[in-house]
């Protein structure tokens, strides 16, 4: 009986380990995934993303802006387990706390400086002030943020993700712009319904 139990536990642990090792974008059995309904070999145009040309020669935005190249904007990334975003931070702007449920993020500061941080599953905060040329990693699925604390100068960063579709869950919107009952939120944040409704109205614009 003990040997059977030991075997069962070993099998369970092995299956769990296999599941974890396979987590992330599914592997593909071809070199790439062609466009839906397409037969034959696509041209080089399919593997080229021109959306970032909008950055060339353009004035810097006045509010925080993200330009994405995920499989949604760039279908050739489907099955390739990689994507990019360009983040533009005018002075004093923030990329609010958010998560990427399907990927870790590698952020490279191209211009200016950024205050960044993430919170782990024990509620420990890890922060750093990044300078031009620095790289910082945000572990997969953890809440994180970026803030340009410079009152005069903008910042520019490039983020690489370990998924073709990392997803983004913005914490303020997910909590206060959802249909979660006001009473549930009031109890969860140890406040009253009026305060919750005020927070919601401030995020609805």
In our burial notation (b when 16+ CB lie closer than 10 A, e otherwise), range 189-200 reads eeeeeeebeebb
Q: Is 105 annotated as a binding residue?
A: yes
Q: Is 144 annotated as a binding residue?
A: yes
CB 86 within 8 A of CB 146: no
CB 163 within 8 A of CB 124: no
What's the distance, Cα to Cα, between the start and end of the chain in Å? 63
CA 197 to chain CA centroid, Å, is 27
In our burial notation (b when 16+ CB lie closer than 10 A, e otherwise), range 5-34 reads eeeeeeeeeeeeeeeeeeeebeeeeeeebb
Q: Is 19 annotated as a binding residue?
A: no
Q: Is 6 annotated as a binding residue?
A: no
Q: C-alpha angle 134/101/53, rounded to 5°?
A: 55
What is the spatial distance between Cα 9 and Cα 4, in angstroms, rounded to a whole number? 9
Q: Is the dihedral of CA 45, 49, 51, 57 positive or negative?
A: negative
In DSSP notation, 154-194 reads -EEEEEEESSSS---EEHHHHHHSS---HHHHHHHTTS-HH
Q: Is 91 annotated as a binding residue?
A: no
**Residues annotated in the binding site for oxalate, as ranges?**
95, 100, 105
**Residues annotated in the binding site for Mn(2+), as ranges?**
98, 100, 105, 144
């Amino acid at each position: 009986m003990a040997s059977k139990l030991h075997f069962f536990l070993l099998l369970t642990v092995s299956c769990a380990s296999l599941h974890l090792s396979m987590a992330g974008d599914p592997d593909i059995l071809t070199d790439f995934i062609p466009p839906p309904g397409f037969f034959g070999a696509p041209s080089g145009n399919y593997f080229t993303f021109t959306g970032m040309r909008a950055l060339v020669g353009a004035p810097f935005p006045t509010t925080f802006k993200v330009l994405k190249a995920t499989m949604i904007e760039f279908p050739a990334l489907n099955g390739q387990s990689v994507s990019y975003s360009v983040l533009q931070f005018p002075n004093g702007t923030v990329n609010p706390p958010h998560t990427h449920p399907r990927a870790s993020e590698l952020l490279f500061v191209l211009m200016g400086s950024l205050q960044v941080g993430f919170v782990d599953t024990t509620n420990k905060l890890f922060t750093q002030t990044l300078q031009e040329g620095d790289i910082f990693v945000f572990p997969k699925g953890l809440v994180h943020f970026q803030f340009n604390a410079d009152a005069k100068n903008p910042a520019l960063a490039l983020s690489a993700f370990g998924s073709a579709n990392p997803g983004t869950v913005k914490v303020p919107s997910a909590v206060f712009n959802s249909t979660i009952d006001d009473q549930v939120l009031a109890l969860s944040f140890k406040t009253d319904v009026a305060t919750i409704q005020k927070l919601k109205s401030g995020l609805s614009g």
